[in-house]
Amino acid sequence: MQKSILIIGACGQIGTELTIALREKYGAESVIASDIREGSESLMSSGPFELLDATNYEAIEDVVMHYEIEEVYLMAAMLSATAEKFPMRAWNLNMNSLFNVLNLAKEKKVAKIFWPSSIAVFGPNTPKDNTPQHTLMEPSTVYGISKQSGERWCEYYFKKFGVDVRSVRYPGLISWKTLPGGGTTDYAVEIYHKALEEKNYTCFLTKGTKLPMMFMDDAIRATISIMDADGDTLKIRSSYNLAAMSFAPEEIAKSIKAHIPDFEMSYEPDFRQAIADSWPSSVNDSKATEDWDWKPEFNLEKTTKKMLENLKG
C-alpha cells in the first residue's frame, strides 16, 4: 500500500530507526525524513531528506503540500535531562511543534498523526508499580509537563476537530544503532558501550532504581502498528501506556556480566536521580493489548544478547 509519510525529527534516536523501518515497509521515496540538521550517512543515503525546523509552521506546511503528505510522525523533542537545563527552549520545541502538526490535520492538510508521549507524564504521587493507564499525573519535569499537556491537546483535537492523532507513552529505549539523546534512561544504552570498551561503567542512577524499559525494535514495531490499527478500535486518544520490561541498574549489570564476567559497575548519582525517582517502576499496558494487540518481544536477557552482539560488530 502506497503512502506519503513525513517524519519530523528523523535524525534522533527513535527517528533514525523509524525512518529506516518505514522506508523498508512503504518504499524509500514514500517516506520523507526531516530534521533541523542532517543525520547519519545511512539515514541520509536511504531516501529523501528535508532540512526542517519543527517550530516553523509555514516550513512544515510547504513540505506537506509539496510531497502531498498523508501521515506525519512528529519525533522532534527535547528530552528529560536536557530539558531541565533549557526549560523554555524545551517547552517551545515540544509544544509548538505539536500544535503545528495538529493544526495541519485540523485543516485537513494531513490525514493522520503520530506523536510520542512518555512515562515522564507520571509524577512522584503516581502509583509506582504497575502504573495504570488512567491515574494521578503530577509530572515534576519540564519534559513531563510538556508531554502531559500534549496528551490533553491531542485528545482535545480528536474530540473537537476529529483529528486522527495516535500516541504511545514510551518507556526508556535501548538501541545499538543510535546513541541516546539526553534522557534519564540513557544509562541503559551507555552501559553496553562501556562494558565492551572499558569493562566498567559509572552509573548516574543508584542501585534499586527500577524503571520501565524497551528494546528499540519493540518501540518501532509498536509505533508502526498503532498507526496501522483501525481507528475505530483505538479508545484512547491521549496516549497509551506501553511496556516491555522493568529493571534496576544492578540487574542490567548482572545480565552483562553473564557475557563479560569481569565487567564492573559503580554508582555516582547526579541530578537525573531525582527525575528517575519521580517515574514509575513498571506500567500496565493492558489497554494497548486490548485495543490494538500490542505485545513486546524482547526481555532483558534477549536485549543484552542483541546489544552486545551488534556493538561488537
Residues designated as active site: 143
d(CA 288, CA 275): 26
> Which residue, chain included where needed, has cell 500496565?
284
Q: Would you call 274 exposed, middle or buried from its count of C-beta atoms within 10 A (0-12, 13-18, 19+)? A: middle
| Contact of 136 with 267, CB cutoff 8 Å | no
Q: Report the run of H or E that residue 13 belongs to, with start and end.
A: helix 13-26
What is the gyration radius of the CA atoms in the chain, in angstroms?
A: 19
Q: What angle do CA 134, 188, 22 make, to 5 degrees?
A: 70
Strands (E), the chain: 5-8, 31-35, 49-51, 71-74, 112-114, 117-118, 165-166, 168-170, 172-174, 200-203, 211-215, 240-241, 245-247, 264-267
